[in-house]
Structure 1
Amino acid sequence: MTTSTTKPRIDMAQFLTLSVNTLHNYFFNVPKEKSRRLYKEIAAGESVGIATLTVGDTKESGSKEPGNKEPGSKENGIKLKLCLDQSEFKGHLTFHLFQGALGMMLRNIADKIQRKADLNIFTSSETGEILIHLPGLVEDRGHLNVLVMGIAPSKTGALIKLQFLDSDQFRKDNPQAAAAAAANDSEPDSGEEESSASEQQHEHSGGQSPQ
């Protein structure tokens, strides 16, 4: 007698929808001290578990934080981790700037999914990693920065890789988008600047999704 293990099955649009919701929840809906804590962890180079994406027998899916599985449920879970590569960021990356780039990226992905448009996905034939080239843009001190989301699948789940790309190459390939980003960031909000400064002071002293 043989036994088989049923692996979670989920299409890319569904996976991205749940991932976008999870990231939005963690960085825009929860108390700011929690989202800043997660940001500091991934900014330090850590891969942090953020949720388990579930696909139930009723074909309903959602995201749950680890340990929140409902009793008696027969759901297959996809463990989700998050990391950040800021090696190509030009300027000084703060939580506020990260939020700006992330928010724009999430809106771009959500819009494409809602309109069932091309998600501009690139897949590595060598590693199986996926890059969703729907970026979020943010400018710091005249430097354009481009944030995209990658997905590295594993046996137990997936690693969401937020990464900043070479902005000079992006300017050459997307001059109109680069100009629009510069215009949007030309008048920073004073309150947001104070928040950024306060964040840096806290760092020296010692801090989830569209429904």
Structure 2
Amino acid sequence: MADLQNQSIERDKFLTMAINLLHRAFIEAPRTDAKKLYKEVAAGKIIGLTNVEMEDKSKVRFDISLDHSEYAGNLNYSAFRASLATLLSNLVKAIQDGQKIPSFTAQNQPTNQIIGITGVTVEEGVPSVMVLSVQTHERKAAVMLRPMYLDYEQFQRSQAAGGELPA
């Protein structure tokens, strides 16, 4: 059995890498390629994006999936792309501003994190909130990038109770 080493990478570097991979795959890529990838992940597939060589010369596989189960309405490529572009822009701004970016994990899933920066967009009068979920594999050198939609109504309830809407 292969001896796996746990390698950590500075959080801002990791987020920058994730932002760049998602940007290349969906924003920078030709529309037909990006739309094809979107259709695959929207259908529930996990797609391999790339292998990244780390500083110690080890390789880490980056995959992508999409969780749109909380999206209100019928999600299409244009709405997804707008949400993702907003999320990536907000992440870049937070990194550039030196903001301490929160992340959240479930007690029973420590390898699954939700990055606490949001991308809020409105399509046909209905808001949507996208975040980036990152799942690391316990036994393989693999990372799953999973943009996911959250129930926007929870933020409306929070605001009504005196909280803030996400950025």
Q: TM-score range by the shorter chain?
A: 0.7 to 0.9
How far residue 172 of structure 1 moved from its aligned partner, in angstroms, is 2.6
Larger radius of gyration: 1
User: Is 1:80 aligned with 2:62?
Assistant: yes
What is the 5 A alignment of 1:2-17?
Answer: 6-17=5-16
- Structure with the largest fraction of helix: 1
140, 144, 156: which is aligned to 1:171?
156
TM-superposition CA deviations, 1:176-206 (whole Å, max 9, x none): 647x9xxxxxxxxxxxxxxxxxxxxxxxxxx
Instruction: State how far apart, in whole Å, the 2-side matches of 1:135 and 1:174 are.
Output: 15
Instruction: State how far apart, in whole Å, the 2-side matches of 1:126 and 1:116 are.
Output: 30
What is the 5 A alignment of 1:1-211?
Answer: 6-57=5-56, 75-128=57-110, 129-154=112-137, 155-156=139-140, 157-174=142-159, 177=165
Kept in 2, the 8 Å contact 1:9–1:55? The answer is no
TM-superposition CA deviations, 1:92-131 (whole Å, max 9, x none): 2111110111011011111111222111211222111111
- SS of residue in 2 equivalent to 1:106: helix
- Structure with the largest fraction of strand: 2
Identity between Structure 1 and Structure 2 (%)? 26
Worse-matched range after superposition: 14-23 or 106-115: 106-115
Gaps of 5+ in 2: none
Q: Which amino acid aligns with 1:169?
A: Q
- Rate the CA distance shift 1:5–1:95 in 2: closer, same or farther, 3 A: closer
Instruction: State how far apart, in whole Å, the 2-side matches of 1:174 and 1:45 are.
Output: 32
- SS of residue in 2 equivalent to 1:107: helix
> Superposition RMSD on alpha carbons, in Å?
2.1
- SS of residue in 1 equivalent to 2:66: strand
How far residue 10 of structure 1 moved from its aligned partner, in angstroms, is 1.2
Kept in 2, the 8 Å contact 1:48–1:82? The answer is yes
Worse-matched range after superposition: 43-52 or 106-115: 106-115
- SS of residue in 2 equivalent to 1:15: helix
How far residue 174 of structure 1 moved from its aligned partner, in angstroms, is 4.6
Kept in 1, the 8 Å contact 2:132–2:145? The answer is yes
- Rate the CA distance shift 1:168–1:4 in 2: closer, same or farther, 3 A: closer
Instruction: State how far apart, in whole Å, the 1-side matches of 2:116 and 2:98 are.
Output: 16
Instruction: Give the TM-score normalised by structure 1.
Output: 0.69
Instruction: State how far apart, in whole Å, the 2-side matches of 1:108 and 1:83 are.
Output: 20
Instruction: Give the TM-score normalised by structure 2.
Output: 0.86
